[in-house]
Structure 1
């Protein structure tokens, strides 16, 4: 299989919606909204989410299966206004049929986001939060150099669970 990594464009609202619904069906614990909430959002919300990726301090990348043109994965990052030294990695997902180190989709997406983060003038580290039960994701992030910071936050959709904060120094 052959993949390319594209930046999300402002006009990609409908494609963002389709991908997000797949994400929520596959790994609901990994996101802070339910499938039904996402399904109920108006088209304008999806257009806004897509456009946000093109604004300063924000980015989003998708993996495209070149044989079909389908979006098969995504990663996004943003620099919060209150701390320009951090890039937050969010909205991470790769379709189950396109996962695995041999295919390299996840690595290529993360490489694109890390490269973008390094172009942001003050960013020195990348942070993410991952559900404590998402062992596959935790193992991947650790293989890529992320370390647990020791901070946790209650998972908003189930406060009996928590999200682990992980960090990747970008120096």
Structure 2
């Protein structure tokens, strides 16, 4: 394990869209990307600047979405996680219906050189803390690919447990994503 580092974890600012784009493209180049993300590098790289500007503009102060970044002492973005609020009765990303108000963590990525340094813990503390600050959020959930044991181990260590929910991976119905949940303390 690498040495712990102190990170400043904060919400993305709207004017930081080029950095949002760069970090997302780095995530999609990672060897784990095929089992970690539903988007390809080619699809993301082809998106116009307007897409990235809109994505960054919605992330800093929204009540339904917030993207957090872990910034190292050198100002480099070590990683990111996005928290989405899902309202009861709305459609879920896998075609079901959301049963309760909850937060859904997506887009989890930490650069390889920052893994094991505390960045992921700091990001999750911020995202989960934000979710608990919202009225009526009963749980935080995420999905993890069955072929991503490193991510599964971190999520379990953080306190997430499998809910029993399983979804086929879009575009690859032979693979599964497991739903993991963290209930409000």
Q: Does the pair score TM above 0.5?
A: yes
CA–CA distance in 1 between the matches of 2:119 and 2:171? 28
Deviation larger for 153-162 or 126-135: 153-162
Q: Name the residue aligned to 1:114.
A: 128
CA–CA distance in 1 between the matches of 2:65 and 2:115? 25
CA–CA distance in 1 between the matches of 2:173 and 2:53? 30
Verify the 8 A CA contact 1:86 1:123 in the aligned structure 2: yes
Q: Name the residue aligned to 2:44.
A: 38
Displacement of 1:14: 1.1
Q: Name the residue aligned to 1:76.
A: 82
Displacement of 1:31: 0.8
CA–CA distance in 2 between the matches of 1:166 and 1:2? 27
CA–CA distance in 2 between the matches of 1:73 and 1:7? 12
Task: Identify unmatched segments of 5+ residues in structure 2.
Answer: 91-97
TM-score by length of 2: 0.86
Q: 1:4 aligns with which of 1, 4, 8?
A: 8
Q: Does 1:62 align with 2:69?
A: yes
Verify the 8 A CA contact 1:33 1:157 in the aligned structure 2: no
Matches within 5 A, 1:80-99: 80-81=86-87, 82=90, 83=98, 85-99=101-115
Q: Name the residue aligned to 2:95.
A: none
Q: Name the residue aligned to 1:52.
A: 58
4+ residue runs of structure 1 moved beyond 6 angstroms? none
TM-score by length of 1: 0.93
Verify the 8 A CA contact 2:68 2:81 in the aligned structure 1: yes
* CA deviation string 1:64-112 (max 9, x = no partner): 1212x11110011011233562100111011111111xx2111111000
Q: Name the residue aligned to 1:168.
A: 182
* SS state at 2:86 partner: coil
CA–CA distance in 2 between the matches of 1:109 and 1:116? 11
Total equivalences in the alignment: 168
